[in-house]
Chains A and B, each alone.
Chain A
C-alpha cells in the first residue's frame, strides 16, 4: 500500500485550484480600453504591394487596413462604380479632369507614424512598385488600366487611365494603399520581404504594429496622432486560432471580445445567443458557393461533357434542388440564394432578380425530354444503358460544403440522379479542378467588392474558368457593364449579364451567406465594414 496516494491527490488538487484561482488575480481594469479580436490566420505580411500569392490572405489584408490608410475608402453602399460614394481618407478630395484623368488632393494633416507628412511622392512610389510585374503580379493585373501616376507638387497626385470606365476611382484607391517612400526607396523590392519594415511597419493608419508573437497574436497600439482622430481603443490584440472550435471557445470563455464569423455551424449561433454579454452583428460577406458543371468531358477535354453539355440536364439540377431549404438548413436566415454568382457584398445585388424556387415537376420533365428515364425502376434514370450518375468534387476544408453535399445528394436522388461524392484534400481538389477532372465541382469564391471580378470565372478567357464555360454574349455584356458610366441605374447592364448567365446554367448558384460577427456589448459605436471587417475599429469605444 502506498501511503502517498491521498497525499499526492490532495497536493495535485491544491495545485490545480491555485492555478484556477489565480485567474481572479487578473483585474478587468487592465483590459479597459482594449479589445481582443479572434481570427483564423496569423497575419505575417500586412504590407501593401506585398500581399501576393500565399500572402494574399484575408488576415493580411485586414491588418494592412489598420496600419496603412488608403487614398479613399468604400462607402457604406459598397458602390465601386463612379466617383461618388467614397469616403475621403488620405485624399481629402478629388476632381475628375476628363474621362481618363483623376486628380487627388492629399490631406495636409496626414502623416506617417514616424511624423513625416504623407506626400504625393509616396503615392507615386507605391504605384511604381504595384505596377511592377516581378514584384506584384496580382496587382499588375488589377491595375492594368492605369497608365500613369504622377505628382503635381507636394500634395496632388494625378492618375491617368487607358480608357474611360466606371471603376477608375476604385482602382486608384482600393488595391494599393500608399507606402512611405522616404523609408522604402532605399530598399530594393527583393529585399523588402526580409527587411525590418515587415516586422515593424511604419504606416499612415490609425494603429501601429507593436509586436508579433508567432502563432499566437499580434498587438497593435493606437496611433495617437492619427489625423482623422485618435482611436478610442488604445490596445488591439489580434489573436490567432486556426481551429473554428477554438475560436468560439476563446470568445465564450471571455478570453476574446470579438470574432469575425460565428456560423456555420448554426449551433454556434445558439451558444452565443445564450451569452448575454455578446452581440451578434450580421454583415454582408464576399463568399458565394455554387455547383459548377464541367462543360467538357473529364476524360477528353476536346469533347463536350457526355451528360452535362445538355442545357436541359443542368437546368433540371438547378430546378430539382430546394436551394432555399438547403441554405436555411446550413445558414439559418443568414444567407440568400443568389441570382447568378453574386455574393452579398456586391452592390449589384440590389435590384437584381430573385433566384427561382424549386420546381421538381419541371426538373423531371426536363430530364425526361433529354432522354433520361428510369427504365429499370431502380430509382435512378438511365439512357441507352448508361446510368444518370455524376460525381461531385469538394474540398474537405469546407464544413459547409461537406454538409450541403450530403443534402444535395439526397435531393437529387429524388429526381432520379445518382450523385457520388468525392471529398478531397485541398491541394488535391485544386489540382483536380484546374485539370478539369470532374463532373460537378462544389466551388466557392471570395469576391472583391468590384463586380468586374466576374470576368475571371465567367468569361471565355477567364483565369479561373475551369469548367470552360464560354458564351461570347456574356463576355460582351460584362464588357459593356464594366465600361459603362453610372447614370440612373448603374446595376442595369450587370443584370443583363447575370440573366444570360442564369439562362446558360453553367452552375447552380447555391448560397451567398452573411458573416455573423459577435462583439461584446460593452463596446460602443460599433460598425463593421463588409469585406474589411475591422476597418472602422478606430471609431469604437469601450464603455468599461
Chain B
C-alpha cells in the first residue's frame, strides 16, 4: 500500500507541475494584455508603456518569464500582482479565510444534509416525500445561483431585514466589540451565501446519493440483512449506505477545490471577500502572477481531491484494487 501511496503522490506532483506549466503558457497565449486597463481611460505613450512593462517583467521573452516564475516558486514566492502591486502570497492569504469559511460550510452542509436527504428519498422511493424532494432538488439545481442569491438577499436582507444582505462583517461593529460578538457578526453574514450555494449543490448530492442508494437497496444482501431481523435503520445505514457512498466520495473529491474557489457568482452577489472573485477579476484583468497563484491553489486541491478519493475508495471497500 505504501508503495502505491508513494507512486500516487509522485504522480500528483507531476500532474501539478505539468498543469501549471501548460497554464502558464496558455495564459500568455490567450489574447488580452495585463496593461490594457492602464491604457484604456488614461492613454499613455509607448515610452511610458515600456516602463510599466519592464516593471512587471512583461517585456521579457515568455520562456524567461517562466524561468523566473519557477525560481520564485522554489523560494516560496509567487510574484507581485500587476493589478494590486502587492505580493501574490499576501493577497491569497488575506482572502483565504473567507473562502475557507464559505466553502467549508457548504461542504459540511452538503455532505451531511445532502447525504441524509438522499438516503431518505431512496428509502421512501415513489412516495410523496421522494417526489417532492426530487422536484425541489431539480428546481434548486437548475436555478442560477446569482438569481437565488439576489432573491434571498432581497427577501431576507431588505424586505424582512432579518440578516445582512451582503458583506462579511459590519465595519462599524468590529472596532469596539469583542471576539464573540465579532464571530456572531460573521456568522450572520455567512448564512445567506451558504444557503444560496448549498441549495444548488445539495440538490446534486441528493440526486447522486439517492440513485446510488436505490441500487444498493435492491441488492440481495440487503434482503438478507432484513431477514436476519435487524432494525430497519441499521439495515439502511450500517449495511447499505456504505456501498452507496462511492459516487458521493467522488463528488466530494471533485468539490474539494470549492474550498478555495468558492463561487464567483455567490461571492459577487453577497460581496463576500473570497478568492473566487479575486481570481475572476484576475482573469479579465489578465493579472498573470495572481492567476498563477490562485491556479496553484486550485490545482493542488484538484489533485489532492483525486488522491483522497482513491484512498477513500480503498478504505471503504476492501475489495477495491487500486493496482
Cβ-defined partner of B51 (8 Å) among A22, A134, A215, A237: A134
**Contact A23 B162, beta carbon cutoff 8 Å:** yes
Cβ-defined partner of B285 (8 Å) among A54, A253, A255, A456: A54
Taking the closest CB of chain B, its distance from the CB of A427, in whole angstroms, is 3
Pick out which of these stretches binds chain A: B4-12, B29-37, B68-76, B219-227: B29-37
Known: A22-B184, A26-B173. A193 touches B85 (CB 8 A): yes
0/1 string, A1-42, CB within 8 A of B gives 1: 010000000000000100110110110001100101000000
By a CB distance below 8 angstroms, the chain B residues around A253 are 153, 157-158, 161, 164-166
**CA A395 – CA B45 in complex, angstroms?**
23
**Contact B268 A246, beta carbon cutoff 8 Å:** yes
**Contact B184 A214, beta carbon cutoff 8 Å:** no
**Contact A137 B45, beta carbon cutoff 8 Å:** yes
By a CB distance below 8 angstroms, the chain B residues around A397 are 284
By a CB distance below 8 angstroms, the chain A residues around B37 are 54, 426, 430
Cβ-defined partner of B188 (8 Å) among A23, A56, A426: A23
Residue B67 CB within 8 A of the other chain: no
Taking the closest CB of chain A, its distance from the CB of B191, in whole angstroms, is 6
Residue B91 CB within 8 A of the other chain: yes
Cβ-defined partner of A245 (8 Å) among B84, B120, B150, B181: B150
**CA A19 – CA B185 in complex, angstroms?**
8
Known: A30-B176, A445-B41. A245 touches B33 (CB 8 A): no
Cβ-defined partner of B170 (8 Å) among A16, A249, A255, A427: A255
**In the complex, which residues 151-176 of chain B have their Cβ closer than 8 Å to any Cβ of chain A?**
153-154, 157-158, 161-173, 175-176
Pick out which of these stretches binds chain A: B18-26, B269-277, B312-320: B269-277
0/1 string, B164-206, CB within 8 A of A gives 1: 1111111111011000010010011001000000000000000
**Contact A216 B168, beta carbon cutoff 8 Å:** yes
Residue A366 CB within 8 A of the other chain: no
**Contact B165 A216, beta carbon cutoff 8 Å:** no
**Contact B51 A254, beta carbon cutoff 8 Å:** no
Which residue of chain A lies nearest to B116 when distances are taken between CB atoms in the complex? A2
Cβ-defined partner of A36 (8 Å) among B47, B95, B171, B191: B171
By a CB distance below 8 angstroms, the chain A residues around B108 are none
Which residue of chain A lies nearest to B281 when distances are taken between CB atoms in the complex? A242
Residue A138 CB within 8 A of the other chain: yes
**Contact A141 B45, beta carbon cutoff 8 Å:** yes
Taking the closest CB of chain B, its distance from the CB of A28, in whole angstroms, is 10
0/1 string, B91-125, CB within 8 A of A gives 1: 10011001000000000000000000000100000
Cβ-defined partner of A216 (8 Å) among B42, B82, B162, B273: B273
Residue A187 CB within 8 A of the other chain: no
**Contact B184 A54, beta carbon cutoff 8 Å:** no
**CA A16 – CA B161 in complex, angstroms?**
13
**Contact A138 B42, beta carbon cutoff 8 Å:** yes
**Contact A252 B158, beta carbon cutoff 8 Å:** yes
Cβ-defined partner of B165 (8 Å) among A239, A252, A427: A252
By a CB distance below 8 angstroms, the chain B residues around A430 are 32-33, 36-37, 39-40
By a CB distance below 8 angstroms, the chain B residues around A34 are 172
By a CB distance below 8 angstroms, the chain A residues around B32 are 425-428, 430-431
By a CB distance below 8 angstroms, the chain B residues around A141 are 44-45, 48
Cβ-defined partner of B163 (8 Å) among A20, A193, A217, A247: A20
**CA A219 – CA B175 in complex, angstroms?**
10
**Contact B84 A44, beta carbon cutoff 8 Å:** yes
By a CB distance below 8 angstroms, the chain B residues around A428 are 31-32
**In the complex, which residues 104-149 of chain A have their Cβ closer than 8 Å to any Cβ of chain B?**
133-134, 137-138, 140-141
**Contact B94 A463, beta carbon cutoff 8 Å:** no
Cβ-defined partner of B33 (8 Å) among A133, A242, A427: A427
Residue A152 CB within 8 A of the other chain: no
0/1 string, A389-419, CB within 8 A of B gives 1: 0000000010000000000000000000000
By a CB distance below 8 angstroms, the chain B residues around A239 are 167, 171
By a CB distance below 8 angstroms, the chain B residues around A213 are 169, 171
**CA A249 – CA B269 in complex, angstroms?**
9
Number of interface residues, chain A, beta carbon within 8 A: 63
**In the complex, which residues 413-450 of chain A have their Cβ closer than 8 Å to any Cβ of chain B?**
425-428, 430-431, 434, 445-446
By a CB distance below 8 angstroms, the chain A residues around B171 are 36, 213, 216-217, 219, 237, 239
By a CB distance below 8 angstroms, the chain B residues around A56 are 38, 41-42
Taking the closest CB of chain B, its distance from the CB of A327, in whole angstroms, is 22
0/1 string, A172-205, CB within 8 A of B gives 1: 0000000000000000000001100000000000
**In the complex, which residues 276-328 of chain A have their Cβ closer than 8 Å to any Cβ of chain B?**
none
Cβ-defined partner of B38 (8 Å) among A54, A140, A193, A434: A54
**Contact B172 A138, beta carbon cutoff 8 Å:** no
**Contact B154 A249, beta carbon cutoff 8 Å:** yes
Which residue of chain B lies nearest to A5 when distances are taken between CB atoms in the complex? B120
**Contact B31 A434, beta carbon cutoff 8 Å:** no
Residue A67 CB within 8 A of the other chain: no
By a CB distance below 8 angstroms, the chain A residues around B84 are 44, 54
**CA A219 – CA B172 in complex, angstroms?**
9
**Contact A23 B161, beta carbon cutoff 8 Å:** yes
By a CB distance below 8 angstroms, the chain A residues around B150 are 245, 249
Which residue of chain A lies nearest to B86 when distances are taken between CB atoms in the complex? A44
**Contact A54 B83, beta carbon cutoff 8 Å:** yes
Known: A249-B157, A255-B170. A243 touches B269 (CB 8 A): yes
**Contact A137 B44, beta carbon cutoff 8 Å:** yes
Cβ-defined partner of B271 (8 Å) among A20, A55, A242, A425: A242
Cβ-defined partner of A463 (8 Å) among B45, B51, B165, B286: B45
**In the complex, which residues 35-69 of chain B have their Cβ closer than 8 Å to any Cβ of chain A?**
35-45, 47-49, 51-52
Chain A interface (Cβ within 8 Å of chain B)?
2, 16, 19-20, 22-23, 25-26, 30-31, 34, 36, 44-45, 52-56, 133-134, 137-138, 140-141, 193-194, 213-217, 219, 235, 237, 239-243, 245-247, 249-250, 252-255, 397, 425-428, 430-431, 434, 445-446, 456, 462-464
Q: A426-B284, A464-B39 are in contact. List 9 more A-B contacts (CB 8 A).
A: A23-B188, A213-B171, A215-B277, A216-B169, A241-B166, A249-B154, A249-B157, A253-B165, A427-B33
| Listed A/B pairs (28) with beta-carbon separation below 8 Å | A20-B163, A22-B184, A22-B188, A23-B162, A34-B172, A36-B172, A44-B85, A44-B86, A54-B38, A137-B51, A194-B86, A219-B171, A219-B175, A239-B167, A243-B271, A246-B153, A246-B268, A246-B270, A247-B271, A249-B154, A253-B166, A425-B32, A427-B31, A427-B36, A430-B40, A431-B31, A431-B36, A445-B41
For the complex of A and B, list the 4 residue pairs with the smallest distance between their C-beta atoms, beginning with the closest: A427-B32, A137-B48, A215-B273, A463-B43
